[in-house]
Amino acid sequence: MISTLFEIFKSNMVQIPLIQPIIDYLMQIPLINFIVALILWRPFFAVVIIPGLTVLLLYLLYIVWFERKLTARVQWRVGPLEVARPIRGAIQALADGLRYFFQEAIVHKEAHRPYFVQLPILAFIPILLPIAFIPAGNVVGIKSPYAVQLVVAFLALIPITIIAIGWASNNRFAFIGSVREALIYVSYEIPFIIAVSSMIYLYGSGDPYVAVEKQSIVPGAIMNPIAFLVFIIAMLMATSRLPFEIPEADQEIAFGPFVEYSGMLFGLVMVLAYEKLYVMALLFVILFLGGWSGFYCELLGDLNAPLWLFIKTIIVISILAIVRSMYARYRIDQAVRYSFSWLIALSIVALVIGIAVGWIV
């Protein structure tokens, strides 16, 4: 049994010439070779190391710090610094996370107790499942010709958990937040899906490999700039970032659905939007910015593709973080009106362009 598994892992390992001598040495030791083979097994590597959970955690530490630092610089402040002076306070998010981890998690009397505790953990399922389908070169969890469609379908499940969180909290602010989340959900989801399907028409397939191959000369952002624009705006709306930070408006409704959460549970629900942003940015990079294609380094071998994908994703998210410190918030009616008039019109134009370009190419 174990030997069969070992053979399966061994036959499909990530090849990295840089650390190949170390791996060769470790593979001779019994038991450790099994663990090494498991870690370097391509599907496991894709889901757990890169672009999966490990870099997701690193990304969370980075983006929270980067956002606070950037906002501080815009406001002529310094931002988090003293926690680790030599690296400009880059582990501030770690300190906040540890504090949340050790704080008391209050479950108040009016809450629906089982759902209130379970839902933050259940909300991770629709966030982690897409990562299994997003490939990075040879490193891929589950290979599927319908990967793009599947990722979009899983992303559509996340607001449902957030609405359920608001319901389980049994708080008036949480109710208002849930209703706002539902409104924003219907208003961004339609342009988002139309923009993605325009790119699927353009490439002729929902397979990320085909999409990346077709972008080898011209990136998708230039082939269909309007879909690019619609995708960015839908991304801002979906992750409730600032021009559309309507469900979690902390000045009016005190973080909306998450108002009653404290301690570790709040730590879990607070990063939901950031994780959603990560998955959407991965999809964005694959559809519009040429995916994992980039300068090839011989020493890194198979690690090239995931690294390029991750670096591009981080750059996209860092640029989007600037929006947060520059814009004021829309009212709910403005956001809904805007998305149901202009955004849908733009997305239909993008669909026409996608079909036309796909027909020519």
Partner 1 sequence: MEEFTKFVRGGILGPIKKWGTKWSLWPVHLVTACCGAELAHAFACGYDGERIGALNYGIARQTNLIIVEGAITRKMARVLRITWEQMPDPKFVIVMGACGLNGGIFWNGYNLVKPSEVVPVEFFIPGCPPTPEALLRGIRQLQIKLDKGVAENSVSFSEVKAEKGKKPRILPRGVKKVSLAPCIVIAREKEVEWELGKNLCEKLKVLGRAVITARNRIALKVDPDKLRSSAMKLRDLGFDHVKSVNVVDAPNEGKFIVEYWISSYSVKELMPVLINLHSEISRREPKISSLSDIFPSADYLEREMQDLFGVEFVGNPWKGRFLLAPDAPEAPLRKDFKLQEEVYVGD
Binding site for partner 1 (CB under 8 A): 68, 72, 75-83, 89, 92, 94-99, 101-106, 250-251, 254-255, 259-263, 266
Q: Could you give the C-alpha distances from 166 to 109, 171, 246, 277, in angstroms and in order? A: 15, 8, 14, 20
Tell me the three-class secondary structure of 293-317, residue by residue.
Answer: CCCCCCCCHHHHHHHHHHHHHHHHH
- Please identify, using beta-carbon distances, which residue of 195 and 269 lies nearer to partner 1: 269
Residues in the chain, total: 361
Euclidean distance between CA atoms 241 and 323, whole angstroms: 8
- Please identify, using beta-carbon distances, which residue of 104 and 298 lies nearer to partner 1: 104
Task: Provide the minimum distance between the beta carbon of 180 and partner 1 in the complex, in angstroms, as a whole number.
Answer: 17
Q: Could you give the C-alpha distances from 308 to 85, 115, 243, in angstroms and in order? A: 29, 39, 29
DSSP 330: P
Task: Provide the minimum distance between the beta carbon of 274 and partner 1 in the complex, in angstroms, as a whole number.
Answer: 16
Euclidean distance between CA atoms 143 and 30, whole angstroms: 31
- Please identify, using beta-carbon distances, which residue of 33 and 103 lies nearer to partner 1: 103
Q: What dihedral do alpha carbons 331, 332, 338, 339 form, nearest 10°?
A: 140
- Please identify, using beta-carbon distances, which residue of 6 and 175 lies nearer to partner 1: 175
β-bridge mates for residue 41, sequence order:
13
- Please identify, using beta-carbon distances, which residue of 234 and 253 lies nearer to partner 1: 253
Task: Provide the minimum distance between the beta carbon of 97 and partner 1 in the complex, in angstroms, as a whole number.
Answer: 8
Task: Provide the minimum distance between the beta carbon of 54 and partner 1 in the complex, in angstroms, as a whole number.
Answer: 20
- Please identify, using beta-carbon distances, which residue of 27 and 107 lies nearer to partner 1: 107
Largest CA distance in the chain: 64
Those residues whose C-beta lies under 8 Å from the C-beta of residue 224, and which sit 6 or more positions away, are 198, 199, 202, 350, 353, 354, 357
Task: Provide the minimum distance between the beta carbon of 58 and partner 1 in the complex, in angstroms, as a whole number.
Answer: 18
Task: Provide the minimum distance between the beta carbon of 20 and partner 1 in the complex, in angstroms, as a whole number.
Answer: 36
Task: Provide the minimum distance between the beta carbon of 197 and partner 1 in the complex, in angstroms, as a whole number.
Answer: 39
- Please identify, using beta-carbon distances, which residue of 22 and 326 lies nearer to partner 1: 326
